[in-house]
Amino acid sequence: MRPFDKPALSVEQQLELLKQRGLQVANDERAMRFLEVVTLFRLSPYIRPFQETNPEHTFKPGSTLKAVVDIYRFDGSLRRITMDAIERVEVAIRAAISNHMCPKYGPDWIADASIFSSSYSHGDLLRPLRDQLGKERNKLGREIDRIKKSSRADQVQQQRIENRMRDNYFRFYGST
C-alpha cells in the first residue's frame, strides 16, 4: 500500500479547495457544517462525475455542491432501501427453510450433520456460530465476575446479570 501523500485539510480548507476548483457553493456556513460530518474524502466519489478529466480536478461549468449532496443523499437512500429489501428476502428465505426443516427434522436440525450431504462441510457452517457463542460466553463471564465484585445488593447484582444475559441473541440462547 502506498503512503498517503496528501496533506490533511481543515473543514474551511476543504471548502476553499472545492471553491478554488470551480464548485459553486450557495451557503458557505451550511457547506462547512455538512463537511464537518461527511468530509471531503467521503464525498470524493460523488464529486468525480462533476470534475473535468484533468490533473487539477477542476469542476465542469455549472457544478454545484447542492448537486453533489443530492447524489450523496440519493445514494444513501438507495442503500437503505436496498438493505431493507435484502433483509426482507433474507428473513423470508430463513423462514421458508425453517418452516420446511423444523417439522421434518426437529428444531435443532441445523446441528445434525447427518441431514446434510456428505460432501458439504457441516463444520464450516457451524464454526462461526460456535466461535461467536464462545466469545460471548467469555465476555459474559467477565461481566458477571465484575458485577459480583461490586458492592451492590445481591438482588441488584442478579438483575444486572440477567440483563447482561439478555443483551444479545448469542448470550441469551448460549446461556440457556
In a domain, 1, yes or no: no
Low-confidence residues of the chain: pLDDT under 70: 168-176
Q: What is the pLDDT of residue 176?
A: 57
In a domain, 125, yes or no: yes
In a domain, 155, yes or no: yes
In a domain, 48, yes or no: yes
In a domain, 107, yes or no: no
Q: What is the pLDDT of residue 171?
A: 65
In a domain, 146, yes or no: yes
Parent domain of 132: 117-174
In a domain, 50, yes or no: yes
Q: How many domains does the chain have?
A: 2
In a domain, 157, yes or no: yes
Q: What is the pLDDT of residue 138?
A: 87
Give a three-class secondary structure readout of the chain: CCCCCCCCCCHHHHHHHHHHCCCECCCHHHHHHHHHHHCHHHHHHHHHHHECCCCCCCECCCCEHHHHHHHHHHHHHHHHHHHHHHHHHHHHHHHHHHHHHHHHHCCCHHHCHHHCCCCCCHHHHHHHHHHHHHHHHHHHHHHHHHHHCCCCCHHHHHHHHHHHHCCCHHHHHHCC
Q: What is the pLDDT of residue 169?
A: 66
Q: What is the pLDDT of residues 94-119, one digit of tens each?
A: 999 999 999 999 998 998 999 999 88
Q: What is the pTM of this model?
A: 0.64
Q: What is the pLDDT of residue 5?
A: 81
